[in-house]
Amino acid sequence: MNINSMNIKPLCVLSLAEKAGILGHILIYRSWGQKTKDLILSYVEERMKPGDVLELDFEGVSYCDSVFLDEIVLGVQLVILKKQDNIMYLSNINSSIEESLRHVISWRKDAKVQKITVLFYQGGRFNYMGHLEPMASRVFEIVSIKGKITARELSDMLGTAIYNASALLKKLYDNRLVMRREFSDSTGLSHQYILPRKRIKQTEA
């Protein structure tokens, strides 16, 4: 797939909640989250193509409780994880939303249900919430600085074997913290691991 084909598909959480009949900037209750999630998943299935990036924009939302976020963030991420060529990130999350989301991610870990990591954009850079092994976390830091990298480039930076570098990058890909694109060079078929670019403002629905 062409690296330049990555398209950002932004959705405004506040507008979606309003479409679901939920008014106000405080979003709580699992039932509210389920209604909003249904709209998001409908969009994902009907309008997202391979290579598209889903941005959930929380602008205007002052607070979400953990069960609402469990539905619209983690519930949607579980669907994204099943798709090979899509990724999701959050934007415009305030400190209270971040705290609620970290709480529900931590709960999933303690409850021994499927662990989920979530990509978000804050303070001019991409970061993640959730559990990664220390070395994978270090590799994410490298990718977040460079924007894109191959296993060979990472291998040279870390002084490790290419198969180790490739395994670390695949962990990020499997958690949908990066996207992966195939390309051909003098060594044959290779993969490049990429963070999405930040969208220029303009949010759908």
Rounded average pLDDT over 11-29: 97
pLDDT digits (tens, 9 = 90+) for 156-170: 999 999 999 999 999
Beta strand 7-12 with 52-57 is parallel
Lowest mean pLDDT among 2-16, 42-56, 65-79: 2-16
φ and ψ at 199, to 5 degrees?
-70, 140
Structure tokens belonging to residue 194:
């990429």
- What single letter denotes the amino acid at residue 88? M
User: Taking the CA atoms of the chain, what radius of gyration do you get in angstroms?
Assistant: 17
Of 60, 70, 56, the closest CA to residue 28 belongs to 70
Query: How remote is the C-alpha of 128 from its chain's centroid?
Result: 8
How many residues are recorded in the chain? Answer: 205
Q: What is the pTM of this model?
A: 0.91
Is the predicted pLDDT of residue 198 greater than 80, yes or no? no
Residue found under tokens 């084909």: 5
Q: How far apart are CA 35 and CA 60, in angstroms?
A: 19
Residue pair 92/59 in contact by the 8 Å Cβ criterion = yes
